[in-house]
């Protein structure tokens, strides 16, 4: 089965990427893998504080993934897979793609402004040659109806 991998965060463009991935997976009988990357904290010398912050970040990641998974189930009848990692977002995306041979497409949401966003810029412009899968960038200005039409 081919999986569409989406990097999940709290941005509005994440919603567009999720919708596109859900519709493509639905139409191609594929799956969706939602990756949430927790950024490393700066408080490494305060181990007790760092552990509490890490636990809180993981709980927030799980809540976000569960929220989006429910939307995905209602929208496309698909139950997604989850992955939560800690590290630099672009590095974790590349590593996840290398580890899971079923990932066939990386779907990213672009912001509506002048720049598509740091993750899109870094992965496509700087690391695109290292990827073994195509990248689909969903523009932030697309309506939900238009996303449904093109996916």
CATH superfamily of 3-150: HUPs (3.40.50.620)
* CA proximity to 20, closest of 75, 94, 63, 74: 75
For the chain, what are the domain ranges? Answer: 3-150
Burial 79-90 (b: 16+ CB within 10 A, else e): ebebbbbeeebb
What is the pTM (predicted TM-score) of this model?
0.87
What's the token pair of residue 106? 């990386």
Q: What is the pLDDT of residues 4-44, one digit of tens each?
A: 999 998 888 889 999 999 999 999 999 999 999 998 765 56
* CA proximity to 65, closest of 79, 50, 51, 53: 79
């Amino acid at each position: 089965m081919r999986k569409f991998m989406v990097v999940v965060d709290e941005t509005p463009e994440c919603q567009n990427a999720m919708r596109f991935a859900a519709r493509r997976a639905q139409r191609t009988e594929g799956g969706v893998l939602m990756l949430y990357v927790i950024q490393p904290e700066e408080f490494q010398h305060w181990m007790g504080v760092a552990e509490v912050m890490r636990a809180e970040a993981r709980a927030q990641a799980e809540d976000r993934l569960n929220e989006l998974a429910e939307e995905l189930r209602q929208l496309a009848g698909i139950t997604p897979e989850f992955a939560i990692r800690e590290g630099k977002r672009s590095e974790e995306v590349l590593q996840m793609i290398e580890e899971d041979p079923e990932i066939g497409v990386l779907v990213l949401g672009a912001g509506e402004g002048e720049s598509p966003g740091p993750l899109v810029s870094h992965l496509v412009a700087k690391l695109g040659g290292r990827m073994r899968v195509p990248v689909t960038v969903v523009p932030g200005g697309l309506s939900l109806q238009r996303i449904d039409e093109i996916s």
